[in-house]
Protein backbone atom coordinates (compact mmCIF):
# COMPACT_ATOMS: atom_id res chain seq x y z
CA UNK A 1 0.00 0.00 0.00
CA UNK A 2 1.04 3.57 -0.37
CA UNK A 3 0.12 6.74 1.39
CA UNK A 4 -1.70 9.69 -0.18
CA UNK A 5 0.43 12.70 -0.99
CA UNK A 6 1.70 14.78 1.88
CA UNK A 7 -0.51 17.67 0.79
CA UNK A 8 -3.64 15.53 0.78
CA UNK A 9 -2.80 14.05 4.15
CA UNK A 10 -2.10 17.44 5.61
CA UNK A 11 -5.45 18.83 4.47
CA UNK A 12 -7.29 16.04 6.23
CA UNK A 13 -5.14 16.15 9.33
CA UNK A 14 -5.59 19.88 9.67
CA UNK A 15 -9.36 19.80 9.38
CA UNK A 16 -10.70 21.32 12.58
CA UNK A 17 -7.32 21.27 14.30
CA UNK A 18 -6.53 24.26 16.47
CA UNK A 19 -2.82 23.88 16.73
CA UNK A 20 -0.08 21.58 15.54
CA UNK A 21 3.13 21.85 17.49
CA UNK A 22 5.31 22.09 15.50
CA UNK A 23 3.65 21.90 12.11
CA UNK A 24 6.93 21.73 10.22
CA UNK A 25 7.91 18.58 12.09
CA UNK A 26 4.63 17.01 11.10
CA UNK A 27 5.37 17.67 7.45
CA UNK A 28 8.81 16.14 7.85
CA UNK A 29 7.38 13.07 9.52
CA UNK A 30 4.78 12.67 6.78
CA UNK A 31 7.40 12.96 4.07
CA UNK A 32 9.63 10.42 5.74
CA UNK A 33 6.74 8.06 6.35
CA UNK A 34 5.70 8.19 2.72
CA UNK A 35 9.23 7.78 1.47
CA UNK A 36 9.94 4.77 3.68
CA UNK A 37 6.36 3.52 3.40
CA UNK A 38 6.19 3.31 7.13
CA UNK A 39 3.10 4.40 9.06
CA UNK A 40 3.33 7.02 11.78
CA UNK A 41 2.47 6.02 15.31
CA UNK A 42 -0.46 8.10 16.42
CA UNK A 43 -1.32 8.02 20.07
CA UNK A 44 -4.37 8.93 22.07
CA UNK A 45 -4.68 8.30 25.74
CA UNK A 46 -8.09 8.10 27.30
CA UNK A 47 -9.18 7.91 30.87
CA UNK A 48 -11.83 5.29 31.34
CA UNK A 49 -13.44 7.42 34.01
CA UNK A 50 -16.70 8.21 32.34
CA UNK A 51 -18.03 5.45 30.20
CA UNK A 52 -20.57 7.56 28.31
CA UNK A 53 -19.01 8.96 25.18
CA UNK A 54 -20.55 12.01 23.57
CA UNK A 55 -19.92 14.10 20.48
CA UNK A 56 -17.26 16.02 22.35
CA UNK A 57 -15.18 12.85 22.64
CA UNK A 58 -15.98 12.04 19.04
CA UNK A 59 -14.01 15.05 17.81
CA UNK A 60 -10.73 13.42 18.70
CA UNK A 61 -11.84 9.90 17.96
CA UNK A 62 -12.87 11.02 14.49
CA UNK A 63 -9.44 12.53 14.00
CA UNK A 64 -7.97 9.18 14.99
CA UNK A 65 -10.23 7.55 12.46
CA UNK A 66 -8.92 9.88 9.78
CA UNK A 67 -5.38 8.77 10.59
CA UNK A 68 -6.51 5.17 10.31
CA UNK A 69 -8.05 5.84 6.93
CA UNK A 70 -4.80 7.46 5.81
CA UNK A 71 -2.99 4.26 6.70
CA UNK A 72 -1.20 5.23 9.88
CA UNK A 73 -0.92 3.19 13.05
CA UNK A 74 -3.39 4.36 15.59
CA UNK A 75 -2.81 3.43 19.20
CA UNK A 76 -5.50 3.88 21.79
CA UNK A 77 -4.17 3.84 25.30
CA UNK A 78 -6.61 2.97 27.97
CA UNK A 79 -5.35 4.91 30.93
CA UNK A 80 -5.75 2.10 33.37
CA UNK A 81 -2.95 3.42 35.49
CA UNK A 82 -3.51 7.13 34.98
CA UNK A 83 -7.21 6.77 35.76
CA UNK A 84 -6.18 5.76 39.20
CA UNK A 85 -4.36 9.08 39.50
CA UNK A 86 -7.05 11.26 37.98
CA UNK A 87 -6.21 13.93 35.40
CA UNK A 88 -6.32 17.32 37.09
CA UNK A 89 -6.65 19.14 33.76
CA UNK A 90 -9.44 21.68 33.84
CA UNK A 91 -10.63 20.39 37.13
CA UNK A 92 -11.47 22.60 40.02
CA UNK A 93 -11.17 19.75 42.41
CA UNK A 94 -9.28 16.54 42.87
CA UNK A 95 -10.71 13.69 40.89
CA UNK A 96 -11.65 10.65 42.89
CA UNK A 97 -9.22 7.86 42.03
CA UNK A 98 -10.79 4.68 40.69
CA UNK A 99 -10.26 1.11 41.73
CA UNK A 100 -8.87 -1.46 39.31
CA UNK A 101 -12.26 -3.12 38.97
CA UNK A 102 -13.93 0.15 38.05
CA UNK A 103 -11.20 0.91 35.55
CA UNK A 104 -11.53 -2.44 33.81
CA UNK A 105 -15.26 -2.19 33.64
CA UNK A 106 -15.21 1.37 32.35
CA UNK A 107 -12.49 0.56 29.86
CA UNK A 108 -14.62 -2.10 28.25
CA UNK A 109 -17.62 0.20 27.86
CA UNK A 110 -15.31 2.87 26.50
CA UNK A 111 -13.90 0.56 23.87
CA UNK A 112 -17.32 -0.71 22.90
CA UNK A 113 -18.43 2.83 22.22
CA UNK A 114 -15.21 3.97 20.58
CA UNK A 115 -15.61 1.16 18.06
CA UNK A 116 -18.54 3.04 16.62
CA UNK A 117 -16.08 5.64 15.41
CA UNK A 118 -12.77 3.84 15.06
CA UNK A 119 -11.97 1.01 12.69
CA UNK A 120 -11.58 -1.87 15.08
CA UNK A 121 -9.46 -3.95 12.74
CA UNK A 122 -6.83 -1.28 12.42
CA UNK A 123 -6.70 -0.31 16.06
CA UNK A 124 -3.89 -1.04 18.47
CA UNK A 125 -5.16 -1.18 22.01
CA UNK A 126 -2.93 -0.87 25.02
CA UNK A 127 -3.22 -0.19 28.68
CA UNK A 128 -0.65 2.02 30.34
CA UNK A 129 -0.90 -0.02 33.49
CA UNK A 130 1.32 -2.49 31.62
CA UNK A 131 4.35 -0.25 31.78
CA UNK A 132 3.50 2.31 34.46
CA UNK A 133 2.36 -0.31 36.94
CA UNK A 134 5.75 -2.07 37.27
CA UNK A 135 7.71 1.16 37.86
CA UNK A 136 9.19 1.33 41.33
CA UNK A 137 9.44 4.32 43.58
CA UNK A 138 12.93 5.22 42.43
CA UNK A 139 11.76 5.25 38.82
CA UNK A 140 9.03 7.68 39.80
CA UNK A 141 11.43 9.89 41.66
CA UNK A 142 13.75 10.04 38.64
CA UNK A 143 10.82 10.81 36.39
CA UNK A 144 9.56 13.57 38.63
CA UNK A 145 12.95 15.25 38.58
CA UNK A 146 12.33 16.14 34.93
CA UNK A 147 9.74 18.75 35.72
CA UNK A 148 9.89 21.66 38.10
CA UNK A 149 7.28 22.82 40.57
CA UNK A 150 7.32 26.26 39.02
CA UNK A 151 6.39 24.77 35.68
CA UNK A 152 3.55 22.85 37.24
CA UNK A 153 1.94 25.65 39.15
CA UNK A 154 2.05 28.03 36.22
CA UNK A 155 -0.65 25.90 34.74
CA UNK A 156 -4.01 27.59 34.78
CA UNK A 157 -5.97 24.90 36.52
CA UNK A 158 -3.46 24.55 39.31
CA UNK A 159 -2.84 28.23 39.83
CA UNK A 160 -6.55 28.92 40.00
CA UNK A 161 -7.11 26.25 42.54
CA UNK A 162 -4.12 27.52 44.43
CA UNK A 163 -5.48 31.06 44.48
CA UNK A 164 -8.92 29.88 45.50
CA UNK A 165 -7.47 28.00 48.44
CA UNK A 166 -8.63 24.71 47.04
CA UNK A 167 -6.94 21.41 47.62
CA UNK A 168 -4.24 20.22 45.25
CA UNK A 169 -2.87 16.84 46.08
CA UNK A 170 0.73 16.07 45.32
CA UNK A 171 -0.12 13.06 43.20
CA UNK A 172 -1.90 15.29 40.71
CA UNK A 173 1.47 16.68 39.70
CA UNK A 174 2.43 13.18 38.63
CA UNK A 175 -0.29 12.86 36.07
CA UNK A 176 1.38 14.73 33.18
CA UNK A 177 4.54 12.75 33.80
CA UNK A 178 2.68 9.49 33.60
CA UNK A 179 1.05 10.54 30.36
CA UNK A 180 4.38 11.71 28.98
CA UNK A 181 5.95 8.41 29.92
CA UNK A 182 3.38 6.73 27.69
CA UNK A 183 4.81 8.63 24.75
CA UNK A 184 8.34 7.56 25.64
CA UNK A 185 7.31 3.94 26.00
CA UNK A 186 5.34 3.84 22.77
CA UNK A 187 7.77 6.03 20.82
CA UNK A 188 4.83 7.94 19.44
CA UNK A 189 5.13 10.22 16.43
CA UNK A 190 1.98 12.13 17.04
CA UNK A 191 -0.19 12.59 20.08
CA UNK A 192 -3.73 13.86 19.88
CA UNK A 193 -5.53 15.77 22.54
CA UNK A 194 -7.91 18.60 23.27
CA UNK A 195 -6.53 22.09 23.61
CA UNK A 196 -6.76 21.63 27.34
CA UNK A 197 -4.24 18.82 27.00
CA UNK A 198 -1.50 21.05 25.62
CA UNK A 199 0.58 20.98 28.77
CA UNK A 200 0.35 17.23 29.11
CA UNK A 201 1.20 16.70 25.43
CA UNK A 202 4.23 18.95 25.64
CA UNK A 203 5.53 17.04 28.63
CA UNK A 204 5.57 14.00 26.36
CA UNK A 205 7.81 15.88 23.93
CA UNK A 206 10.19 16.83 26.67
CA UNK A 207 10.44 13.36 28.13
CA UNK A 208 11.06 11.89 24.69
CA UNK A 209 13.83 14.39 24.13
CA UNK A 210 15.43 13.48 27.45
CA UNK A 211 15.26 9.89 26.33
CA UNK A 212 17.00 10.66 23.06
CA UNK A 213 13.98 9.93 20.88
CA UNK A 214 12.40 11.85 18.06
CA UNK A 215 9.86 14.12 19.63
CA UNK A 216 6.18 13.65 19.01
CA UNK A 217 4.09 16.23 17.22
CA UNK A 218 1.21 17.49 19.33
CA UNK A 219 -2.08 17.87 17.52
CA UNK A 220 -4.66 19.82 19.46
CA UNK A 221 -8.32 19.66 18.61
CA UNK A 222 -10.82 22.22 19.90
CA UNK A 223 -13.11 21.44 22.78
CA UNK A 224 -16.54 21.06 21.29
CA UNK A 225 -18.99 23.59 22.67
CA UNK A 226 -22.07 21.89 24.04
CA UNK A 227 -25.71 22.32 23.13
CA UNK A 228 -26.01 25.29 25.44
CA UNK A 229 -23.68 27.20 23.15
CA UNK A 230 -21.33 28.33 25.90
CA UNK A 231 -19.50 25.67 27.88
CA UNK A 232 -17.57 22.73 26.48
CA UNK A 233 -19.63 19.65 25.92
CA UNK A 234 -19.63 17.64 29.09
CA UNK A 235 -21.83 15.29 30.97
CA UNK A 236 -21.57 17.35 34.10
CA UNK A 237 -22.94 20.43 32.36
CA UNK A 238 -25.69 18.35 30.83
CA UNK A 239 -25.11 19.97 27.45
CA UNK A 240 -24.02 16.82 25.68
CA UNK A 241 -25.22 14.56 22.91
CA UNK A 242 -24.23 10.99 23.71
CA UNK A 243 -23.25 8.67 20.89
CA UNK A 244 -25.26 5.93 22.52
CA UNK A 245 -28.38 8.01 22.77
CA UNK A 246 -31.65 7.09 21.14
CA UNK A 247 -32.14 8.54 17.65
CA UNK A 248 -34.99 10.81 18.72
CA UNK A 249 -33.04 12.34 21.58
CA UNK A 250 -30.01 12.74 19.40
CA UNK A 251 -32.00 14.53 16.74
CA UNK A 252 -33.77 16.85 19.14
CA UNK A 253 -30.68 17.68 21.11
CA UNK A 254 -28.77 18.48 17.95
CA UNK A 255 -31.46 20.94 16.92
CA UNK A 256 -31.05 22.78 20.18
CA UNK A 257 -27.49 23.68 19.23
CA UNK A 258 -27.23 27.43 18.57
CA UNK A 259 -27.14 28.45 14.92
CA UNK A 260 -23.58 29.77 15.12
CA UNK A 261 -22.32 26.29 15.85
CA UNK A 262 -23.89 24.51 12.90
CA UNK A 263 -20.79 24.69 10.75
CA UNK A 264 -18.43 23.83 13.59
CA UNK A 265 -20.41 20.70 14.30
CA UNK A 266 -20.33 19.68 10.67
CA UNK A 267 -16.59 20.18 10.59
CA UNK A 268 -15.77 18.43 13.83
CA UNK A 269 -18.27 15.68 14.41
CA UNK A 270 -19.62 14.55 11.05
CA UNK A 271 -18.22 12.41 8.28
CA UNK A 272 -19.12 14.97 5.63
CA UNK A 273 -16.25 15.08 3.13
CA UNK A 274 -13.79 17.89 3.69
CA UNK A 275 -14.32 19.27 0.21
CA UNK A 276 -18.06 19.63 0.83
CA UNK A 277 -17.58 21.83 3.86
CA UNK A 278 -17.57 25.21 2.07
CA UNK A 279 -21.04 24.59 0.66
CA UNK A 280 -22.24 23.61 4.11
CA UNK A 281 -20.86 26.78 5.55
CA UNK A 282 -22.83 28.84 3.08
CA UNK A 283 -26.05 26.98 3.81
CA UNK A 284 -25.55 27.33 7.56
CA UNK A 285 -25.47 31.08 7.15
CA UNK A 286 -28.27 31.48 4.63
CA UNK A 287 -30.66 28.80 5.76
CA UNK A 288 -29.85 27.83 9.33
CA UNK A 289 -33.13 26.07 9.90
CA UNK A 290 -32.61 23.48 7.19
CA UNK A 291 -28.87 23.30 7.71
CA UNK A 292 -29.49 22.37 11.29
CA UNK A 293 -31.97 19.71 10.34
CA UNK A 294 -29.35 18.37 7.93
CA UNK A 295 -26.88 18.30 10.77
CA UNK A 296 -29.25 16.49 13.11
CA UNK A 297 -30.00 14.02 10.33
CA UNK A 298 -26.32 13.44 9.61
CA UNK A 299 -25.46 12.86 13.25
CA UNK A 300 -28.26 10.34 13.73
CA UNK A 301 -27.36 8.66 10.43
CA UNK A 302 -23.74 8.23 11.50
CA UNK A 303 -24.62 6.41 14.70
CA UNK A 304 -27.93 4.75 13.90
CA UNK A 305 -28.18 4.51 10.13
CA UNK A 306 -30.29 6.06 7.41
CA UNK A 307 -33.60 4.53 8.48
CA UNK A 308 -33.38 5.76 12.04
CA UNK A 309 -32.40 9.19 10.88
CA UNK A 310 -35.54 9.45 8.79
CA UNK A 311 -37.67 8.19 11.63
CA UNK A 312 -36.10 10.64 14.07
CA UNK A 313 -36.79 13.51 11.74
CA UNK A 314 -40.44 12.49 11.40
CA UNK A 315 -40.76 12.01 15.12
CA UNK A 316 -39.42 15.47 15.80
CA UNK A 317 -41.72 17.11 13.30
CA UNK A 318 -44.69 15.28 14.67
CA UNK A 319 -44.13 15.86 18.37
CA UNK A 320 -42.35 19.16 18.62
CA UNK A 321 -43.45 21.08 15.57
CA UNK A 322 -46.98 19.69 15.26
CA UNK A 323 -47.27 18.79 18.93
CA UNK A 324 -48.86 15.45 18.20
CA UNK A 325 -48.51 12.09 19.84
CA UNK A 326 -45.81 10.07 18.10
CA UNK A 327 -46.53 6.69 16.55
CA UNK A 328 -44.11 4.94 18.84
CA UNK A 329 -45.60 6.18 22.10
CA UNK A 330 -45.63 3.47 24.74
CA UNK A 331 -48.97 1.94 25.70
CA UNK A 332 -50.28 1.41 29.21
CA UNK A 333 -53.19 -0.92 29.72
CA UNK A 334 -55.80 -0.75 32.46
CA UNK A 335 -58.96 -2.65 33.22
CA UNK A 336 -61.95 -1.00 31.64
CA UNK A 337 -64.71 0.36 33.82
CA UNK A 338 -62.36 1.07 36.68
CA UNK A 339 -62.03 4.59 38.02
CA UNK A 340 -58.36 5.52 37.81
CA UNK A 341 -56.66 8.46 39.37
CA UNK A 342 -54.60 10.24 36.76
CA UNK A 343 -51.95 10.85 39.39
CA UNK A 344 -51.49 7.11 39.87
CA UNK A 345 -51.50 6.42 36.16
CA UNK A 346 -48.70 8.91 35.62
CA UNK A 347 -46.82 7.38 38.52
CA UNK A 348 -47.10 4.01 36.72
CA UNK A 349 -45.73 5.40 33.47
CA UNK A 350 -42.55 6.61 35.13
CA UNK A 351 -42.84 9.92 33.29
CA UNK A 352 -42.58 11.86 36.52
CA UNK A 353 -40.08 11.36 39.35
CA UNK A 354 -42.55 11.96 42.18
CA UNK A 355 -46.20 12.67 42.83
CA UNK A 356 -45.28 16.12 44.05
CA UNK A 357 -43.69 16.80 40.69
CA UNK A 358 -46.75 15.49 38.86
CA UNK A 359 -49.05 17.77 40.85
CA UNK A 360 -46.80 20.71 40.12
CA UNK A 361 -46.91 19.99 36.41
CA UNK A 362 -50.67 19.60 36.53
CA UNK A 363 -51.14 22.94 38.19
CA UNK A 364 -48.93 24.51 35.55
CA UNK A 365 -50.70 22.93 32.63
CA UNK A 366 -47.96 20.48 31.78
CA UNK A 367 -50.19 17.45 31.59
CA UNK A 368 -52.86 16.72 29.05
CA UNK A 369 -55.21 13.95 27.98
CA UNK A 370 -56.19 13.98 24.31
CA UNK A 371 -54.88 17.52 23.91
CA UNK A 372 -56.90 18.80 26.82
CA UNK A 373 -54.96 20.21 29.75
CA UNK A 374 -55.78 18.63 33.07
CA UNK A 375 -55.23 20.95 35.97
CA UNK A 376 -57.24 19.14 38.63
CA UNK A 377 -54.91 16.99 40.67
CA UNK A 378 -57.81 14.73 41.65
CA UNK A 379 -58.76 14.05 38.07
CA UNK A 380 -59.91 10.50 37.42
CA UNK A 381 -60.54 8.61 34.24
CA UNK A 382 -62.63 5.56 33.46
CA UNK A 383 -61.72 3.70 30.31
CA UNK A 384 -64.04 1.69 28.12
CA UNK A 385 -62.78 -1.51 26.63
CA UNK A 386 -60.54 -0.75 23.67
CA UNK A 387 -60.60 2.99 24.31
CA UNK A 388 -57.32 4.83 23.81
CA UNK A 389 -56.44 8.11 25.42
CA UNK A 390 -53.33 10.11 24.52
CA UNK A 391 -51.36 11.21 27.56
CA UNK A 392 -48.75 13.95 27.49
CA UNK A 393 -46.56 14.64 30.49
CA UNK A 394 -44.29 17.65 30.20
CA UNK A 395 -42.74 18.43 26.87
CA UNK A 396 -41.38 15.10 25.85
CA UNK A 397 -43.28 12.26 27.43
CA UNK A 398 -46.09 10.75 25.43
CA UNK A 399 -48.08 7.64 26.16
CA UNK A 400 -51.29 5.89 25.22
CA UNK A 401 -53.59 4.76 28.00
CA UNK A 402 -55.71 1.87 26.87
CA UNK A 403 -58.69 0.05 28.36
CA UNK A 404 -58.72 -3.72 28.18
Partner RNA sequence: GGGGAGAUACCAAAGCGGCCAACUGGGGCAGACUGUAAAUCUGUUGUCUUACGACUUCGUAGGUUCGAAUCCUGCUCUCCCCA
Residue 357 touching RNA (CB under 7 A): yes
Question: Using the rule CB under 7 A, which residue among 73, 228, 244, 267 binds RNA?
Answer: 228
Instruction: Supply the minimum distance, in Å, between the C-beta of residue 238 and RNA.
Output: 6
Asked whether position 260 contacts RNA by CB under 7 A, the answer is: no
Q: Which of 356, 372, 384, 386 binds RNA (CB under 7 A)?
A: 356
Alpha-carbon distance of 15 to 63, in angstroms, equals 9
Please identify, using beta-carbon distances, which residue of 134 and 286 lies nearer to RNA.
Answer: 286
> Which residues within the stretch 129-148 sit at the binding site for RNA (CB under 7 A)?
none
Among 3, 158, 173, 251, indicate the residue that binds RNA (CB under 7 A).
251
Computed from CA positions of residues 350, 351, 353, 354, in that sequence, does the dihedral angle turn out positive or negative?
A: negative
Closest CA to 91 of 160, 138, 40: 160
Which of 104, 256, 336, 349: binder of RNA (CB under 7 A)? 256
Residues 6+ apart with CB under 8 A from 236: none
Q: Is 371 in the site for RNA (CB under 7 A)?
A: no
**Of 115 and 373, which has the nearer Cβ to RNA?**
373
Closest to 232 (Cα-Cα) out of 278, 264, 201: 264
Indicate whether 355 belongs to the interface with RNA (CB under 7 A).
yes
Q: Which is nearer to RNA, 153 or 279 (CB)?
A: 153
Is 395 a binding residue for RNA by CB under 7 A? The answer is yes
**Cβ atoms < 10 Å from Cβ of 376:** 9
Stretch that binds RNA, among 51-59, 166-174, 180-188, 190-198 (CB under 7 A): 166-174
| 310 near RNA (CB under 7 A) | no
Please give, one letter per residue, the 3-state secondary structure of the chain: CCCCCHHHHHHHHHCCCCEEECHHHHHHHHHHHHHHCCCCEEEEEECCCCCCCEHHHHHHHHHHHHHHHHCCEEEEEECCCHHHCCCCCCCCCCCCCCCHHHHHHHHHHHHHHHCCCCCHHHEEEEECHHHHCCCCHHHHHHHHCCCCHHHHHCCHHHHHHHHCCCCCCHHHHHHHHHHHHHHHHHCCCEEEEEHHHHHHHHHHHHHHHHCCCCCCEEEEECCCECCCCCCECCHHHCCCCECCCCHHHHHHHHHCCCHHHHHHHHHHHCCCCHHHHHHHHHHHHHCHHHHHHHHHHHHHHHHHCHHHHHHHHHHHHHHHHCCCCCCCCCEEEECCCCEEEHHHHHHHHCCCCCHHHHHHHHHCCCEEECCEECCCCCCEEECCCCCEEEEEECCCEEEEEEEC
- Is the Cβ of residue 313 or residue 402 nearer to RNA in the bound state? 313
Rounded to the nearest whole angstrom, what is the least distance from the CB of residue 19 to RNA in the complex? 29
Among residue numbers 274 through 303, which ones bind RNA (CB under 7 A)? 288-289, 292
Options 45, 56, 204, 366; binder of RNA; rule CB under 7 A:
366
Q: Which of 2, 24, 145, 378 binds RNA (CB under 7 A)?
A: 378
The binder of RNA chosen from 229, 305, 330, 350 (CB under 7 A): 229
We find the least distance from the C-beta atom of residue 262 to RNA, in angstroms, to be: 8
Residue 386, sorted as left (phi over 0), alpha (psi -120 to 50) or beta, turns out to be left
The C-alpha atoms of residue 49 and residue 44 are separated, in whole angstroms, by 15
Does 81 sit near RNA (CB under 7 A)?
A: no
Q: Which stretch binds RNA (CB under 7 A): 58-66, 152-160, 195-203, 389-397?
A: 389-397
- Residues contacting RNA: total by CB under 7 A: 41
By the rule CB under 7 A, 248 interacts with RNA = yes
311 is an interface residue for RNA by CB under 7 A: no
**Contact track, RNA, 1-20, x by CB under 7 A:** --------------------
Q: Smallest distance from the beta carbon of 377 to RNA, in angstroms?
A: 6
Instruction: Give least dist CB 224 to RNA, A.
Output: 16
Span of 22-30, 37-45, 129-137, 349-357 interacting with RNA by CB under 7 A: 349-357
Please report, as ranges, the residues that interact with RNA according to CB under 7 A: 162, 165-168, 227-229, 238, 248-249, 251-253, 255-256, 258-259, 288-289, 292, 316, 320-321, 343, 353-357, 359-361, 364-366, 377-378, 394-396
Amino acid sequence: MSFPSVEEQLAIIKRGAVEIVPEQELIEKLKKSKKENKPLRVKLGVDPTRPDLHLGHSVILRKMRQFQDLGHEVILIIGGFTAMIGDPTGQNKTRPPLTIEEVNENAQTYIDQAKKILDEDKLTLTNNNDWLGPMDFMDVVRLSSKLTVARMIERDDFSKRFENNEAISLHEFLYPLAQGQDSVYLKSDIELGGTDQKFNLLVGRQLQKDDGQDQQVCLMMPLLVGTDGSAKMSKSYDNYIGIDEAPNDMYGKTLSVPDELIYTYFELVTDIATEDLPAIKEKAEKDPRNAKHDLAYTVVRMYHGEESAKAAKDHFEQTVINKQVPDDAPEFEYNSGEELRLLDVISDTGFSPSNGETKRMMKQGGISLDDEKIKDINHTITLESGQEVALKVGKRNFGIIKGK
